Structure 1
């Protein structure tokens, strides 16, 4: 008896093993392409929206930059969108001459204010997260309450308090005020971060004989760099951009750059818009540099204390 063998079909050129042929195969292929097309459309719309938002944000920057290079006759509201007829750097030179002393005083204010408030907030956050004393939650709530009090509501009694204490007007008073008003947000950030630190790490330090301050200094502080980056950026920006405290507790001779910029804009408003525009760019440049250099660490540090683990 001879065995009946079925003929072996030759593979179709270009067809992969296991793939079917016939009318249904083409339809199946078209069905597989649809999700890719939808994904491409969604991605295109997403990037289009992002580009639109970037343009909206950059439009004022364009007006500032272009106007800062215009001469007195060229810098007019009717020509705000036009390029300068003659590019000049005299506005930048005049703005720097007017703002350079105030920028130096502002650096003297924001650096110690940010560092002191960050360190004190770190201590507060560690104590409130690891030392469960009676009334700890009430103390933390009262500290947070300071975040929701607007400066305008307390500016008059605060001014009377500063005068009664005979605090010197200018940078020293502003440092004290920014440290005090920065404690609520710094305490909140550090407390949330320290709650994510494993208890085993703290217990191991106690077993080795370390007290609270020793545990903070040797164990907790070295791993707090992400939160310190967030707090320092936040405090640096807040103190640099503050104008209300600068008006009430300093003058044009001893005040920060925001006050000097306001005086510059009022003095150059009817003469040359370019000087005030160049001054605005000078005043915003330090905070821009801080965000460019440390922006990627800001979001990482901000989210580091949001997840328990």
Structure 2
């Protein structure tokens, strides 16, 4: 009888302990610290964006009042119109739209070529391992950490010798060269996380280098391709130095023309136009992050940046 009572008491005690754990207070010092950090980080990035956005729709008369955090009393989109097609980027006053299309012409082929070559390199280094693969990978990794400024002059001389200097193909080649080490590392780490049995089974079935790549590896590479695309689009679209040196005066990207608008010294400084031009320049990377953020996180979780 006593044994039965003891057995009957145990579930009650265990249920009470579970209930006590469930009654843990929601507000804890650790949770408050996490939310305080997240709120501070959000304000750190959102406050400058708010100031830029508000200033870009204010007339100059309100900007001269000096209250940068105040909402506009008479909002206007004229600064955005001027920034797009009327602001002076040097001797020409055609706005930043020309730089936008130049950036598109530079970014699209550069991203496609660097991702394609990086995927093939990563696939070969992960599964086929040709002779000297480790040495080649080490050279690529060393290249990833060499400052780009060191290679500017040799690249200028090489492109000039090939008659590609100050042209869109020339700047595309430069971006592909600079993106190759990181893209190779990204795809190599991703393919190294895949089961080797898949590759071995494909080899037993008679698959060759390109057939395995296109029919097996590439369809499984969507997460890492999205990560690579976001990284390359952001790096190439936001590039200033390489575009200034290699693109030529007829193909200057958006960032270079933005610098020309902001640093114009003739006439009154149009802060609203400068802010509008800055926001227009950053729209493409921001839109890319907003619309593909889920795939970016999935690619990271699947091993795209592990290793």
Q: Displacement, 1:178? A: 0.8
Equivalent residue, structure 2, for 1:141: 138
Q: Which residue of 14, 18, 22 maps to 2:12?
A: 18
Structure 2 unaligned spans of 5+: 1-10, 86-94
1:103-133 per-position Cα deviation (integer Å, ceiling 9, x unaligned): 1121121111111110100000011111223
The structural deviation recorded for 1:250 is 2.6
Q: Deviation at 1:77?
A: 8.7
Q: CA offsets, 1:224-279, max 9 Å, x none? A: 11111111111111100000011111345321100111111122784211101000
**Aligned positions of 1:29-48 closer than 5 A:** 32=20, 36-37=24-25, 40-48=28-36
Unmatched tracts of structure 1, length 5 or more: 1-16
Task: Tell me, in whole angstroms, the C-alpha distance in 1 between the residues paired with 2:78 and 2:255.
Answer: 21
Is 1:293 equivalent to 2:288 in the alignment? no
C-alpha displacement of 1:157? 2.2
Q: Give yes or no for contact 1:69–1:91 (8 Å, CA) kept in 2.
A: yes
The 2-side partners of 1:252 and 1:306 are apart by 37
1:88 to 70, 76, 86: 76
Q: Which residue of 1 aligns with 2:237?
A: 240
* Residue 211 of structure 1, CA deviation: 1.2
Aligned-CA RMSD value:
2.6
Question: Which residue of structure 2 aligns with residue 13 of structure 1?
Answer: none
Deviation string 1:144-189 (CA, Å, 9 cap, x unpaired) is 1111011112212222222222105142221111111111011001
Partner secondary structure for residue 105 of structure 1:
helix
Q: Is the 8 A contact 1:226 1:300 kept in 2?
A: yes
1:38 deviation in Å?
7.1
Structure 1 residues 76 and 142: CA distance shift in structure 2, 3 A: farther
Normalised by the length of structure 2, the TM-score is 0.85
**Partner Cα distance (1:164, 1:254) in 2:** 20
Secondary structure, aligned partner of 2:251: coil
Aligned to 1:113: 110
Q: Which moved more, 1:261-270 or 1:172-181?
A: 261-270
Aligned pairs for 1:136-175 (under 5 A) are: 136-175=133-172
CA separation of 1:280 and 1:204: change in aligned 2, threshold 3 A: same
| SS of equivalent to 1:36 | coil
Distance 1:86 1:170, change over 3 A: farther
The corresponding residue for 2:191 is: 194
**Contact 1:237 1:287 survives alignment (8 Å):** yes
Give the total of aligned pairs.
285
CA gap of 1:37–1:85, structure 2 versus 1, over 3 A, is: same
Decide which structure has the larger Cα Rg and report it: 1
Which residue of 1 is the match for residue 54 of structure 2?
A: 66
CA-CA distance at 1:46 after TM superposition: 1.6
Q: In 2, distance between residues paired with 1:177 and 1:77?
A: 46
Q: Aligned-pair distance for 1:280?
A: 0.3
Aligned-partner Cα distance in 1 for 2:12–2:256 = 75
CA distance in 2: counterparts of 1:191 and 1:279, whole angstroms:
38
Instruction: Specify which of 250, 266, 282 is matched with residue 284 of structure 1.
Output: 282
Is the Cα contact below 8 Å between 1:102 and 1:256 reproduced in 2?
yes
